[in-house]
């Protein structure tokens, strides 16, 4: 079976790495010249809206998926009209606009931080009346890794925030003094079978994910699963979905969903019985889903901007290195390592050995 992937970044690369043992082949469509999944399959280098290229892409594959959530809706619909596309275009677009995404959460009875749409400078004042301060001003579209965000601490910040972001459609959210951040990784098959990974605890710095650690027995597991299940059913979703939450006042507030495999699930390659990448492929190919059980303790550390020397990491026990073949660049995710251990004390000891190798960006 040949699977077409819209996007050829590291998520596409890891999908393909998970798919070859199952006998799948891959084709990617991505406009980037340095597409890091390209060595793992056929790469059609074209714009997502190049209809001739999309036609060619669809002609050579059995089914399609995406690893980049900002694939234009028109491209997704074009592909879906020619070949099975999972998740469906509606699921792709549900997370592209932060405003309609939040409205979807509200309609599904899922709590969210206070929010208001902002489309003018005066509207910013009104929105801040509703959310209170501090608040986070965000672009409604195309924001990722903390880009397109401005934290407003007082009215004195409004002008600078507006100067930076005001050219786009915006959303203002109340700043959540969260206790921690967690994500629920869920997978739903073509027959409606659903599985959940244990909740993952995530640490961000400057809006970028730094570490992700799955834990069995989180007291919020059942609630996270319930909220994720509502979205999976609402979107008639097929594949892996990541749902990011803030933990506040002992409950969950929805931040955002990613309709794809997610950085907070990379630990699952070594840390789960079946990784998020293999489970996404199983789901879209109509296979039974694999076990989401943990194999032991694990923790993922992202390499941001640069990565430690491979020789130094290779000398460490329980450290599994993934380099994406991307050029180092400030704030760019260029790889990750998953630490595994039989128990949490050993895991923490292994992290202490890796930490001195990480530079402050990572």
| Rounded CA separation 313/319 (Å) | 7
Give the length of the chain. Answer: 362
Q: How far apart are the first and last CA of the chain?
A: 38
Least distance CB 98 / ligand AMP (angstroms): 7
Least distance CB 145 / ligand AMP (angstroms): 7
Least distance CB 260 / ligand AMP (angstroms): 14
Mapping DSSP to helix (H, G, I), strand (E, B) and coil, where does residue 158 land?
helix
Mapping DSSP to helix (H, G, I), strand (E, B) and coil, where does residue 176 land?
coil
- Closer to ligand AMP by Cβ: residue 50 or 97: 97
- Closer to ligand AMP by Cβ: residue 126 or 142: 142
**One residue of 88, 176, 238, 272 binding ligand AMP per CB under 6 A:** 176
| Rounded CA separation 252/266 (Å) | 22
Site string for ligand AMP, 287-316 (x = CB under 6 A): ------------------------------
- Closer to ligand AMP by Cβ: residue 231 or 285: 231
Least distance CB 237 / ligand AMP (angstroms): 20
Contact 297, 217 (CB under 8 A): no
What the block records as the tokens of 83 is: 């070949």
The answer to whether 181 contacts ligand AMP (rule: CB under 6 A) is yes
The count of residues interacting with ligand AMP (CB under 6 A) is 13
**One residue of 111, 146, 166, 305 binding ligand AMP per CB under 6 A:** 146
What the block records as the tokens of 288 is: 């039974």
What the block records as the tokens of 199 is: 């909740």
Considering Cα of 95, then 101, then 104, then 110, what sign does the dihedral take?
positive
**One residue of 2, 141, 204, 210 binding ligand AMP per CB under 6 A:** 204
Contact 174, 132 (CB under 8 A): yes
**How does DSSP assign 290-304, residue by residue?**
PP--BSSEEEEEEEE
Q: Give the pairing of strands 180-188 and 194-196.
A: antiparallel
**One residue of 173, 218, 225, 270 binding ligand AMP per CB under 6 A:** 173
Site for ligand AMP in 65-124 (CB under 6 A): 113
> φ and ψ at 127, to 5 degrees?
-65, -40
Least distance CB 202 / ligand AMP (angstroms): 7
Least distance CB 198 / ligand AMP (angstroms): 19
Q: Give the pairing of strands 170-174 and 115-118.
A: antiparallel
- Closer to ligand AMP by Cβ: residue 181 or 270: 181
Least distance CB 175 / ligand AMP (angstroms): 4
- Closer to ligand AMP by Cβ: residue 173 or 225: 173
Stretch that binds ligand AMP, among 88-96, 100-108, 172-180, 302-310 (CB under 6 A): 172-180
- Closer to ligand AMP by Cβ: residue 240 or 254: 254
Mapping DSSP to helix (H, G, I), strand (E, B) and coil, where does residue 136 land?
strand
Least distance CB 148 / ligand AMP (angstroms): 8
Q: What are the C-alpha distances in Å from 50 to residues 29, 57, 60, 73, 74? A: 10, 11, 16, 13, 11
Q: Rule CB under 6 A: which residues touch ligand AMP? A: 113, 136, 143, 146, 173, 175-176, 181, 204, 207, 244, 255-256
């Amino acid at each position: 079976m040949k699977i077409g992937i819209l996007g050829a970044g590291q998520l596409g690369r890891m999908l393909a790495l998970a798919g070859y043992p199952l006998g799948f082949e891959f084709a990617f469509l991505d406009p980037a010249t340095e597409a890091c999944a390209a060595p793992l399959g056929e790469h059609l280098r074209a714009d997502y809206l190049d209809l001739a290229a999309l036609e060619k892409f669809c002609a050579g594959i059995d089914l399609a998926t995406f690893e980049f959530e900002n694939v234009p809706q028109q491209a997704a619909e074009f592909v879906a009209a020619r070949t099975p596309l999972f998740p469906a275009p509606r699921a792709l677009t549900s997370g592209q606009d932060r405003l309609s995404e939040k409205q979807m959460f509200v309609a599904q009875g899922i709590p969210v931080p206070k929010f208001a749409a902002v489309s003018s400078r005066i509207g910013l004042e009104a929105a801040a009346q509703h959310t209170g301060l501090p608040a986070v001003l965000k672009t409604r579209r195309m924001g990722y890794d903390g880009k397109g965000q401005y934290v407003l601490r007082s009215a004195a910040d409004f002008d600078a925030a507006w100067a930076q972001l005001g050219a786009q459609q915006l959303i203002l959210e109340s700043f959540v003094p969260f206790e921690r951040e967690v994500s629920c990784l869920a997978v739903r098959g073509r027959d409606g079978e659903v599985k959940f990974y244990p909740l993952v605890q995530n640490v961000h710095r400057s809006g970028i994910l730094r570490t992700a650690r799955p834990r069995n027995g989180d007291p919020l597991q059942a609630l996270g699963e319930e909220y994720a299940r509502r979205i999976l059913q609402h979107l008639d979703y097929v594949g892996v979905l990541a749902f990011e939450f803030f933990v506040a006042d002992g409950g969950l507030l929805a931040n955002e969903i990613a309709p794809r495999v997610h950085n907070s699930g990379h630990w699952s390659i070594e840390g789960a019985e079946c990784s998020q990448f293999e489970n996404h492929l199983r789901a879209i190919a109509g296979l039974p889903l694999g076990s989401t059980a943990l194999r032991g303790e694990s923790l993922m550390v992202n390499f941001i901007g640069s990565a430690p020397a491979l020789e130094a990491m290779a000398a460490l026990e329980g450290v599994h290195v993934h380099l994406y073949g991307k050029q180092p660049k400030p704030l760019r995710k260029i790889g990750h390592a998953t630490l595994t251990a039989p128990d949490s004390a050993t895991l923490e000891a292994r992290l202490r050995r890796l930490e001195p190798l990480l530079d402050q960006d990572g």
